[in-house]
């Protein structure tokens, strides 16, 4: 198979972890007889420095023509002024919207070898396997924003269409897994959440009667996610709630450096990235955890290129590396650790 993949390294450790993932994809291509063409473009802070824009037109055009996009991370202290009119994160929000990517898939599956890296009791983490589906293009992040000298407001809005399509994505995943879908909202307070709950219930009742639907308020879900994570299969929620809950869920896995994500729309093309940030404090030190980005590359193969066997090969190789104790410092927690390059080489040797 011949595929074009646009690589957006971004800022901080982004270039280090995307190089690792690209090397794994090149290894997969060689092993399975595929041809992947990689095109590197700028996004985020580095793009602001070069062009004044967090998402240059050339980057967006390349992404629109690609079969898939692999992204590192954006942001850093240099661009961290909250009052700045142009910020790196705007590039990420803009490319998701421009590509029509409305569902962000974030799997959380703690690896047995890394349970001690989590602050959560290990007995609570056995057999945890959760898929969080976060709506990406609506909600408070994209609503009208106003600021006066003594007040500010951010509008949170959702349409039925926006809710329906992400719920269908989540329910389809639940049907392929254990058949349990939890919808998270704040329907006791927010009108958007009341619409969310009504639309979700209707979609499941009419289109997915075989899927068990449960509703949870976001504050309750934040507690339950840590208290009894084994009880959950697929979780679907709106943009901001999903952003917060998935960072919380990363503690189940022990490190943000283990969690990949996929942003999908109606077609096959998607954007794939680790859920961690740019980690400027360790950038350039060669110790960043590449596993989340490598696992994001596996999701790219599965969801955009239809390569289930190749994706599974990468996931097995990461599992085996972790089982062998190949830990970067974030996982080793003071014990023996390896470099980004060594962790990547371990995965490559096991594919």
* Residue that is last in its domain, among 253, 273, 308: 253
* DSSP-assigned states of every residue in 41-57: ---THHHHHHHS-SS-H
Contact between residue 176 and residue 169 where contact means Cβ atoms under 8 Å apart: no
Q: Is 85 a catalytic residue?
A: no
Domain shared by 342 and 285, yes or no: yes
Residue 126 has pLDDT above 90, yes or no: no
Lowest mean pLDDT among 14-28, 187-201, 328-342: 328-342
User: Does residue 347 lie within any of the structural domains?
Assistant: yes
Q: What is the pLDDT of residue 197?
A: 98
pLDDT in tens, 272-308: 999 999 999 999 999 999 999 999 999 999 999 999 9
User: Does residue 113 lie within any of the structural domains?
Assistant: no
Domain shared by 125 and 244, yes or no: yes
Mean pLDDT confidence for 206-210: 98
Q: How far from 142 is each of 14, 43, 59, 158, 165, CA to CA, in Å?
A: 25, 19, 21, 10, 17
| Catalytic-labelled residue, pool 49, 219, 231, 309 | 219
List Cβ neighbours of 279 (8 Å cut-off, separation of 6 or more): 12, 13, 73, 288
pLDDT in tens, 304-326: 999 999 999 999 999 999 999 99
End-to-end alpha carbon distance in the chain: 18
Tell me the residue range of the domain where 204 lies: 119-253
* Residue that is last in its domain, among 199, 222, 253: 253
Contact between residue 135 and residue 171 where contact means Cβ atoms under 8 Å apart: no
User: Does residue 266 lie within any of the structural domains?
Assistant: yes
* Residue that is last in its domain, among 220, 253, 286: 253
Domain shared by 26 and 87, yes or no: yes
Q: Is 219 a catalytic residue?
A: yes
Q: Is 154 a catalytic residue?
A: no
Kindly report whether the global pTM for this prediction surpasses the value 0.85: yes
pLDDT in tens, 76-115: 999 988 788 899 999 998 999 899 999 999 999 988 887 7
Domain shared by 267 and 246, yes or no: no
Domain shared by 199 and 232, yes or no: yes
Domain shared by 88 and 9, yes or no: yes
Q: Is 49 a catalytic residue?
A: no
| Catalytic-labelled residue, pool 64, 154, 212, 243 | 243
User: Does residue 111 lie within any of the structural domains?
Assistant: no
> Which CATH number covers residue 64?
3.40.718.10
Residue 116 has pLDDT above 80, yes or no: no
Q: How far apart are CA 263 and CA 294, in angstroms?
A: 15
| Catalytic-labelled residue, pool 67, 186, 232, 233 | 186
Residue 128 has pLDDT above 90, yes or no: yes
Domain shared by 13 and 90, yes or no: yes
Residue 251 has pLDDT above 90, yes or no: no
By CB neighbour count within 10 A (0-12 exposed, 13-18 middle, 19+ buried), where does 133 fall?
A: buried
Q: Is 243 a catalytic residue?
A: yes
Domain shared by 195 and 247, yes or no: yes
| Catalytic-labelled residue, pool 11, 42, 67, 141 | 141
pLDDT in tens, 149-163: 999 999 999 999 999
User: Does residue 89 lie within any of the structural domains?
Assistant: yes
* Bridge partner list, 211: none
Q: How far apart are CA 282 and CA 278, in angstroms?
A: 9
Helix ranges (H only) for the chain are 14-32, 45-51, 57-65, 88-98, 122-125, 160-176, 191-207, 218-227, 239-253, 291-303, 308-323, 329-332, 340-350
Mean pLDDT confidence for 22-30: 97
* DSSP-assigned states of every residue in 188-250: TT-HHHHHHHHHHHHHHHHH-TTSEEEEEEHHHHHHHHHH-GGG-SEEEE-HHHHHHHHHHHH
Domain shared by 146 and 42, yes or no: no
**Mean pLDDT over all residues of the chain?**
95
Structure tokens at 258: 């283990």
Residue 156 CB neighbour total at 10 angstroms:
18
Domain shared by 243 and 123, yes or no: yes
User: Does residue 232 lie within any of the structural domains?
Assistant: yes
Q: What is the pLDDT of residue 241?
A: 97
Structure tokens at 242: 């999903």
Domain shared by 142 and 192, yes or no: yes
Structural domain count, the chain: 2
Structure tokens at 312: 């599974």
User: Does residue 238 lie within any of the structural domains?
Assistant: yes
pLDDT in tens, 210-246: 999 999 999 999 999 999 999 999 999 999 999 999 8
Residue 58 has pLDDT above 90, yes or no: yes
Residue 120 has pLDDT above 90, yes or no: no
Contact between residue 55 and residue 91 where contact means Cβ atoms under 8 Å apart: yes
User: Does residue 192 lie within any of the structural domains?
Assistant: yes
Domain shared by 297 and 349, yes or no: yes
Residue 254 has pLDDT above 80, yes or no: no
């Amino acid at each position: 198979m011949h595929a074009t993949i646009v690589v957006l390294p971004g800022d901080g450790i982004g270039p280090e972890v995307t190089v690792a993932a690209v090397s794994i994809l090149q290894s997969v291509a060689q092993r399975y007889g595929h041809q992947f063409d990689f095109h590197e473009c700028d996004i985020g802070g580095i793009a602001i420095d070069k062009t004044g824009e967090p998402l240059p037109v050339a980057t967006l055009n390349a992404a629109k023509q690609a079969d898939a996009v692999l992204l590192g991370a954006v942001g850093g202290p240099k661009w961290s002024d909250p009052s700045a009119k142009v910020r790196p994160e705007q590039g990420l929000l803009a490319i998701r919207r421009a590509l029509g990517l409305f569902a962000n898939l974030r799997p959380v599956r703690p690896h047995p070898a890394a349970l001690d890296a989590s602050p959560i009791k290990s007995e609570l983490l056995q057999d945890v396997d959760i898929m969080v589906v976060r709506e990406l293009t609506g909600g408070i992040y994209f609503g009208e924003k106003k600021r006066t000298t003594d007040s500010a407001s951010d509008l949170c809005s959702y349409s039925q269409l926006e809710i329906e399509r992400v719920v269908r994505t989540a329910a389809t995943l639940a049907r392929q897994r254990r058949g349990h879908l939890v919808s998270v909202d704040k329907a006791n307070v927010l009108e958007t959440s009341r619409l969310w709950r009504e639309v979700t219930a209707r979609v499941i009742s009419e289109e997915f009667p075989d899927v068990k639907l449960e509703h949870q308020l976001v504050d309750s879900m934040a507690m339950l996610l840590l208290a009894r994570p084994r009880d959950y299969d697929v979780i679907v929620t709106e943009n901001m709630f999903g952003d917060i809950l998935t960072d919380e869920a990363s503690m189940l896995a022990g490190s943000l450096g283990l969690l990949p994500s996929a942003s999908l729309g109606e077609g096959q093309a998607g954007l794939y990235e680790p859920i961690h940030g740019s980690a400027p404090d360790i950038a350039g030190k060669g110790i960043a955890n590449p596993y989340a980005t490598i696992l994001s590359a596996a999701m790219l193969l599965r969801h955009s290129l239809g390569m289930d066997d190749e994706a599974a090969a990468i996931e097995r190789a990461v599992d085996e590396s972790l089982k062998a104790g190949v830990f970067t410092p974030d996982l080793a927690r003071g014990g023996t650790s390896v470099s980004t390059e060594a962790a990547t080489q371990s995965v490559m040797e096991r594919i």
